[in-house]
Chains A and B, each alone.
Chain A
Amino acid sequence: MLSNIMSILLTVVTALVWGLLLGGISRNVTAKIHGRVGPRVTQNFIDLWKLFRKTSSIHHGGMFWMAPLFRITGAIAVLLMVPVVVGHNINYNMSFAGDIFLLLYIMFFGCLGMALGAGNSGHPYSVVAISRGLAQMSSYELSFSIAVVAVAVGLHTLRIEGIVAAQQAGVSSWNIFRFPFASAGALIAFLPMQMAYPFSIVLAPQEIPIGPPTEYSSRFLSFMFSGRALFSVAKLLLFVNLFFGGASSWMALFVKTFLLYMYAIVVSSVFPRFRTEQSIKFLWLVPTTLALVDLVRVML
Chain B
Amino acid sequence: MYCNQPPKKPGDKKEVLQKITNMARANSLWVTAYGTGCGSIELRPLGTSRFDMERFGIAMRPTPRQADVLIISGYLATKTLKRVIRVYEQIQDPKYIMALGSCTINGGMYFDSYNTLNVLDKYLPVDVYVMGCMPRPEAIIDGFSLLMKKIKEGRAVGWKHYRENLDYYRENQKQIIKNWDLPDYNW
Contacts and interface: CB of A to CB of B under 8 A. Distances in A.
Contact of A214 (B20, B49, B63, B187): B63
A59 B48 CA distance: 35
Contact of A215 (B55, B65, B93): B65
Interface in A47-92: 47, 49-50, 53-58
A58 B92 CA distance: 9
A53 B92 CA distance: 11
A285 interface: no
Contact of B54 (A36, A46, A49, A55): A36
Nearest to A34: B49
Interface in B91-134: 92-94
B75 to A, nearest CB: 25
Interface string B26-48: 01100001000000000000001
Interface in B44-88: 48-49, 52, 54-57, 61-63, 65-66, 68
A58 B65 contact: yes
Contact of A221 (B52, B66, B93): B66
Given A38-B55, A39-B54, A221-B66, A54 B92 contact: yes
Given A35-B49, A37-B55, A50 B24 contact: yes
Contact of A55 (B56, B63, B92): B92
B172 interface: no
A214 B55 CA distance: 24
B54 A27 contact: yes
Nearest to A214: B63
A54 B54 contact: no
Nearest to A123: B63
A217 B61 CA distance: 11
A170 interface: no
A210 B55 contact: no
A150 B106 CA distance: 71
B27 A46 contact: yes
A284 to B, nearest CB: 30
B38 to A, nearest CB: 22
Nearest to B66: A217
Interface string A30-44: 010011111110010
Interface of B is mostly: loop
B25 interface: yes
A39 B57 CA distance: 6
Interface residues of A, number: 30
A217 B65 contact: yes
Contact of A58 (B21, B56, B187): B187
A47 B92 contact: no
A209 B62 contact: yes
A213 B61 CA distance: 11
Contacts of A215: 63, 65
Contacts of A221: 66
Contacts of A56: 92
Given A49-B21, A50-B28, A38 B54 contact: yes
A15 B66 CA distance: 25
Contact of A31 (B52, B68, B94): B52
B63 A209 contact: yes
B64 to A, nearest CB: 9
Interface string B1-35: 00000000000000000001100110110000100
A218 B24 contact: no
Contacts of A37: 52, 54-55
A53 B26 CA distance: 13
Contacts of B94: 54-55
Given A57-B187, A210-B62, A216-B66, A46 B57 contact: yes
Interface in A213-245: 213-218, 221
Nearest to A30: B54
B92 A57 contact: yes
Given A39-B56, A50-B28, A205-B62, 16 more contacts: A34-B48, A36-B55, A39-B57, A40-B27, A46-B24, A49-B20, A49-B24, A50-B21, A50-B24, A54-B94, A57-B187, A58-B92, A209-B62, A209-B63, A210-B66, A214-B62
11 contacts: A38-B52, A39-B57, A43-B57, A46-B24, A46-B28, A57-B92, A58-B65, A209-B33, A216-B66, A217-B65, A221-B66
Closest 3 CB pairs of A and B: A209-B62, A217-B65, A35-B49
